[in-house]
Amino acid sequence: MSYLIISDIILGITAFFMLLFGTIEDIKKREVYDIISYTGIAIAVIIRLVYALITQDYHYVVYPLIPLLFSIIFGFVMYYANQWGGGDVNILIALSLLLGTWPMYLTNSLAMKVIYAIKSPPIVAFAFFIIFFFMSMIMGVFVGLGYGVYIAIKEAKRFNKEFLNVIRDYKIFIIILTVTELGILVEYVLTEDVRFLILLIAVFILKFVTVFSITIEKLLIRKVKPGELTEGDWIIEDIYVDGKKIYSKEQPGVTLSQINELKKLYKEKKVNEITIKEGFPFIPAFFLGYLVTFIIFFF
């Protein structure tokens, strides 16, 4: 077995266990310890450098730099848009280094068709990462909906109340879509064109998913004591004490030093409970995206 295949297998196994442990932590604690992603980054760098030094082939080190750059830019955009936590960004950066070249043990007919169709060696190198990334985004939709259903069942009474409030607050939007549905339904009845039926279903799903998503977003807002905060939590309000701004809601997340200061102020009864917005766990989407991509090309 060649050094290249051995290196790819180590990187692939590392990515699997990093995502497995990250998924468990994300689901259980809603945070991912940095040691998990840092370990993945360290192993990726060491394996790639060792291979390059042994074979004098530095493509194995250079090619992952493009996925790395993309991951840093995309990750920080998501971070500062308050869509991802720092753990999500670190995991994506680690994955760009672990999966930044095509795994050479994946050489079945489908994989070879992709490789031969692309032809450009640099693009072939990180094609696996590109496919994995888009697969993870698709899985993210399903994970988000699944997590939303879980929250809706867990907090059924509050969900029902908020769902009705959202319908009331967005009634103009709902009326417009409902009138659109009726128009499409009339067209379907008159023409019996199945395309109108598909469009009708699509508009209905859009209406329901929009209202459902807004409702779940409201359910993710809750009050906690400073002692319950973890680094990176999104506080959705400015916090002032004695005229001094302790925290700005424009920040992407609360820092450890701010948490310690808020704990101190809470003991001094200068700060009460704090309103935060929880995110949904995205590491499981990475994990599912990796498994699906691997299965597609392995089998």
CB-count exposure of residue 32 (10 Å: 0-12, 13-18, 19+):
buried
> What pLDDT, on the 0 to 100 scale, is given for residue 74?
93
The per-residue pLDDT for 30 is 74
At residue 119, the pLDDT reads 64
pLDDT of 121 reads 65
Residue 166 near residue 219, CB atoms below 8 Å: no
Question: Within a domain: residue 261?
Answer: yes
Q: Is residue 97 situated within a structural domain? A: no
Structure tokens given for 72: 């840093």
126 assigned to some structural domain: no
At 57-105, the pLDDT tens digits run: 888 888 899 999 999 999 988 888 777 878 889 999 999 999 998 888 7
Domain range for residue 231?
Answer: 221-277
What is the total count of domains within the chain? 1
Rounded to a whole number of angstroms, the distance between the first and last alpha carbons of the chain is 20
Among residues 114, 100, 30, the alpha carbon closest in space to that of 68 is found at 100
> What is the reported pLDDT for 126?
80
Is residue 253 included in any domain, yes or no? yes
> Which of the residues in the chain have pLDDT under 50?
none
pLDDT of residue 67: 92
Instruction: Select from 122, 151, 181 the least CA-distant residue to 279.
Output: 151
Q: What is the pLDDT of residue 118?
A: 65
pLDDT tens column, 129-166: 988 999 999 999 888 888 888 888 988 888 899 999 99
Q: Is 54 within the bounds of a domain?
A: no
Report the distance separating Cα 172 and Cα 250, nearest Å: 30
> For residue 111, is it within any domain?
no
Tokens of 243: 């005229």
In a domain, 103, yes or no: no
How far, in whole angstroms, is CA 289 from its chain's centroid? 11
Let me know if residue 149 belongs to a domain.
no
